[in-house]
Chains A and B, each alone.
Chain A
Amino acid sequence: MTDVTVAALPAPRSIWSLRFEKFRGHRLAMYSLVFLAVLTAICLMAWPLSQYLGIDPNKTNLLARFKAPNAQHWLGTDDLGRDVLIRLMYGGQVSIAVGLLATFLMTVLGVAVGVTAGFLGGRTDAVLMRLTDCMIALPLIPLLIVLGAVDLTKLGLSAASAGSPLFIFLRIVIIIALVDWTTMARIARAGAIQVRDRDYVRAATVAGAKRRYNVLVHVLPNISTPLIVAATLTVGRVILLESTLSFLGFGIVPPTPTWGNMLTNAQQLIISAPHLAVYPGLLIFATVMAVNFVGDGVRYAFDPRAENEGRSH
């Protein structure tokens, strides 16, 4: 009865090591990843560096406005006499953190909606998908501005906590996730519908699996590939949204620096100090571009059409 030749098969290589190898082959993506790692590391140095140089990045000093780069202020000072470099570094922390956190949150939200719609089907699906259709069409920036203007004390929060930097940070993460989960939902739904009708889900159901088990054990792992790809590409868009919102004054507000709100004032200083408008924008651009390249690499690495390379079939 043993016509089976499994023993001759190569030891299984994890799908992840194959993917990583392919990702490494995507040179732009690899460079971008290195760039992002270095950038993050530098941004995380903000506090130690400010200690070392003896700088308080939020302290205004009207006697030291528009200083040229010098030993203490490596990139000079801004219109209020604050150190540009340290503020850029803190701003980077905020941008990257918002990008990652909001993406995570909207993935959770989108997967919840999408998997529910796809797995339950029927009327639930129809209603949820109409909802997503409407959300997709809406103009995001105006919507985000209203959400950014919401007075949290009216929702029962104390004035002190509503105004704390942590809350302002969390609020921006939450509102971006709230308006931009639709792509994730669609991807998750499409995947859930596919997996729902696979025979392995049916077999598990016959063996006593409940809906929750099937979603956690079968559906989620099998739709993770398109979700990871989409999530990577989302990080860049979130960083852009956050910086736009902060630029417009409805995102993260001073004194906490962000790359977006550092440009709010630069607009008034275009004539006197145009260089102040260059650094933050350049950093946003470089970061988002790098994130998008990484996303491109992830997509390439996860592409199933190339997944069988090096396999013994």
Chain B
Amino acid sequence: MSNPLLEIDRLSVHIPMRGKGLLSSGIKLRAVDEVSLTMQRGETLAIVGESGSGKSTLGYVVAGLRQQTGGSLKITPSRPHQNGRKPVQIIFQDPFSALDPRMTVEDIIGEPLRLMGQDRGTRRGRVLEVLEQVGMPAEAAQRYPHQFSGGQRQRLAIARALIGDPELIVADEPLSALDVSIQSKILNLMSDIKERHGISYFFISHDFGVVRHLADRVAVLYLGRLMELAPADEIFANPAHPYTRALMDAVPRIGRGRRKRGQVLKGEIPTPLNPPSGCVFHTRCPRATAICSTERPLLLPLVSRPAQLAACHHKE
């Protein structure tokens, strides 16, 4: 396809650190560092990586919540400039902070339409429509968020993301705060929606089980850099990057309770304030050699499987 939905080119988010008082300390935190990738229409891309690797930051840039400090990002909606319609929407992890406790469900879900300038009467029909799509009854519309469980709230958040007819939904770990039994239901709902509406997900997750179920391609981030980018079946069959391999070995499969967040590998994660030279993974990599600490590996296709890209001097 010649006309991708999302094109990210060497995108960086460097956050200047505040020193004591009002002055900048001159140090920058590299939350996202020169990441390039594209997404096709209808494609679901999973972003995985340890805590602090920059997944949310990248997702926020895609959703327009943050500005990149370098590189570019281009979204090409199939139907551009339609009365304030936003091609990207977002779903968050914590369903309790996602819904304004002072608003009724109808107002919460209808908010994107309100921001497009539609009045309440026009919105109502559409609100009921998306409520049904996410498996919630029409009576929910007049209730307040506190009357719903975590899973129900996540359905409502999905309904809000759907109502403006987006083409891309950034989902920042939408399942990790839910009970396991609920997780699979929401997961089914999301893949249902994907199929019915042809929506793309920018799907941030810790959970390879979920990723395998939903993703078409997988991007692996470490310390703000893209380590590997490959079709889902290929990466699960043959992870090319040592970091990807380590992640898959360390992470338990779905159904074994909630993920413990944070570190899954041996050794400390270096700070993004002062990332290691060369390959940022070399301090923890079992295959590291001399070149790894001096030269930054480029993200290149494998010879055997050209659809699979990895940034490693010794990739498989």
Residues of chain A having any CB pair with chain B under 8 Å: 1-4, 6-7, 9, 12, 123, 126, 198-200, 202-209, 213, 218, 221-222, 311-313
Cα–Cα, bound, A199→B161 (Å): 13
Do residues A6 and B148 form an inter-chain contact, with CB atoms below 8 A? yes
Of A9, A123, A199, A207, the residue contacting B97 (CB under 8 A) is: A199
CB of B189 within 8 Å of the partner chain: yes
Cα–Cα, bound, A1→B102 (Å): 28
Of A12, A199, A200, the residue contacting B144 (CB under 8 A) is: A12
Across the interface, which residues of A come within 8 angstroms of B136, CB to CB?
Answer: 4, 6
Do residues A6 and B100 form an inter-chain contact, with CB atoms below 8 A? no
Of B65, B143, B144, the residue contacting A202 (CB under 8 A) is: B65
Of B86, B94, B108, B155, the residue contacting A208 (CB under 8 A) is: B86
Across the interface, which residues of B come within 8 angstroms of A199, CB to CB?
Answer: 92, 94, 97-98
Do residues B116 and A208 form an inter-chain contact, with CB atoms below 8 A? yes
Of A7, A9, A123, A200, the residue contacting B100 (CB under 8 A) is: A200
Do residues A206 and B65 form an inter-chain contact, with CB atoms below 8 A? yes
CB of B310 within 8 Å of the partner chain: no
Cα–Cα, bound, A209→B89 (Å): 12
Of B22, B65, B135, B144, the residue contacting A205 (CB under 8 A) is: B65
The residue of chain B having its C-beta at the shortest distance from the C-beta of A195 within the complex is B100
Across the interface, which residues of A come within 8 angstroms of B164, CB to CB?
Answer: 207
Across the interface, which residues of A come within 8 angstroms of B65, CB to CB?
Answer: 202, 205-206
Do residues A204 and B111 form an inter-chain contact, with CB atoms below 8 A? yes
Across the interface, which residues of B come within 8 angstroms of A205, CB to CB?
Answer: 64-65
Cα–Cα, bound, A198→B102 (Å): 13
Cα–Cα, bound, A6→B100 (Å): 19
- Nearest CB on A from B215, distance (A): 22
Do residues B146 and A311 form an inter-chain contact, with CB atoms below 8 A? yes
By the criterion of a CB under 8 Å from any partner CB, how many residues of chain B are at the interface? 43
**Can you identify 13 A-B contacts, CB atoms within 8 angstroms?**
A2-B135, A3-B135, A4-B137, A4-B152, A4-B155, A6-B136, A7-B139, A126-B22, A203-B89, A206-B170, A207-B111, A207-B164, A311-B146
Chain A proximity mask over B188-209: 1 for CB below 8 Å, otherwise 0: 0100100000000000000000
The residue of chain A having its C-beta at the shortest distance from the C-beta of B85 within the complex is A208
- Nearest CB on B from A119, distance (A): 15
Do residues B139 and A6 form an inter-chain contact, with CB atoms below 8 A? yes
Of B84, B90, B101, B185, the residue contacting A203 (CB under 8 A) is: B90
Across the interface, which residues of A come within 8 angstroms of B185, CB to CB?
Answer: 3
CB of B304 within 8 Å of the partner chain: no
The residue of chain A having its C-beta at the shortest distance from the C-beta of B18 within the complex is A122
Residues of chain B having any CB pair with chain A under 8 Å: 22, 63-65, 84, 86, 88-90, 92, 94, 97-102, 108, 111-112, 115-116, 135-137, 139-140, 142-144, 146-148, 152, 155, 157, 160-161, 164, 170, 185, 189, 192
Do residues B160 and A9 form an inter-chain contact, with CB atoms below 8 A? no
Across the interface, which residues of B come within 8 angstroms of A209, CB to CB?
Answer: 111, 115
Do residues A204 and B115 form an inter-chain contact, with CB atoms below 8 A? yes
Do residues B147 and A4 form an inter-chain contact, with CB atoms below 8 A? no
Do residues A203 and B92 form an inter-chain contact, with CB atoms below 8 A? yes
Across the interface, which residues of A come within 8 angstroms of B157, CB to CB?
Answer: 203
Do residues A200 and B152 form an inter-chain contact, with CB atoms below 8 A? no
Q: A126-B22, A206-B86 are in contact. Are A6 and B140 (CB under 8 A)?
A: yes
Across the interface, which residues of A come within 8 angstroms of B64, CB to CB?
Answer: 205-206
- Nearest CB on B from A77, distance (A): 54
Of A123, A200, A202, A213, the residue contacting B115 (CB under 8 A) is: A213
| 10 closest residue pairs by CB, A with B | A207-B112, A1-B135, A199-B92, A199-B98, A221-B102, A200-B100, A208-B115, A199-B97, A206-B90, A206-B63
The residue of chain A having its C-beta at the shortest distance from the C-beta of B145 within the complex is A200
Q: A2-B137, A202-B92, A204-B115 are in contact. Are A222 and B146 (CB under 8 A)?
A: no
Do residues B142 and A12 form an inter-chain contact, with CB atoms below 8 A? yes
Q: A123-B22, A200-B100, A202-B90 are in contact. Are A9 and B115 (CB under 8 A)?
A: no
Of A6, A200, A313, the residue contacting B143 (CB under 8 A) is: A6
Do residues B108 and A207 form an inter-chain contact, with CB atoms below 8 A? no
The residue of chain A having its C-beta at the shortest distance from the C-beta of B98 within the complex is A199
Do residues A1 and B189 form an inter-chain contact, with CB atoms below 8 A? yes
The residue of chain B having its C-beta at the shortest distance from the C-beta of A224 within the complex is B102
- Nearest CB on A from B12, distance (A): 21
Across the interface, which residues of B come within 8 angstroms of A123, CB to CB?
Answer: 22
Across the interface, which residues of A come within 8 angstroms of B86, CB to CB?
Answer: 206-208
